[in-house]
A and B are shown apart, each in its own frame.
Chain A
């Protein structure tokens, strides 16, 4: 998510393909260094939907179809 733009595709690839996985990891790191938070939407066993916050690429479920980056929360006025 980018202010003023909405959703932007940053990178895509197959984690089973080494080169593509490395590209995904590099983009993941770059977004975190920019100060973004990363979340993976998941469905729980009870059918509820929730987000799983991830701070490292290794925490991303291997079967996740996307990671959403959004600006870090800050106390508002």
Chain B
């Protein structure tokens, strides 16, 4: 499992999801905190390519041996790609949550929604008050 980290170039959603925003495109995943709370991921149920997903709504599921967790969309848009490698290697979400463990790529319908997300300091503060 990876060491705890929260990259500075990402935007964070309070449900422990991250977004890497590049113009009107973004990559989504779950944070180190989320994968640690869930434990070893053994199954990722992705949305379909082309699916419309809405900010703050569940768009996928990750499962550990004993638990299921919804994954919430940090931003709204249309899914353009899902991380197919996770079908055979879901543990990549634990090993590299911000890299090979990315979940989906999305064409954003309203990039200005990003203003509502947390920066790394605000997210770390949230984690601090959580625990």
Indicate, yes or no, whether A interacts with B.
no
B residues near A, CB below 8 A? none
A residues near B, CB below 8 A? none
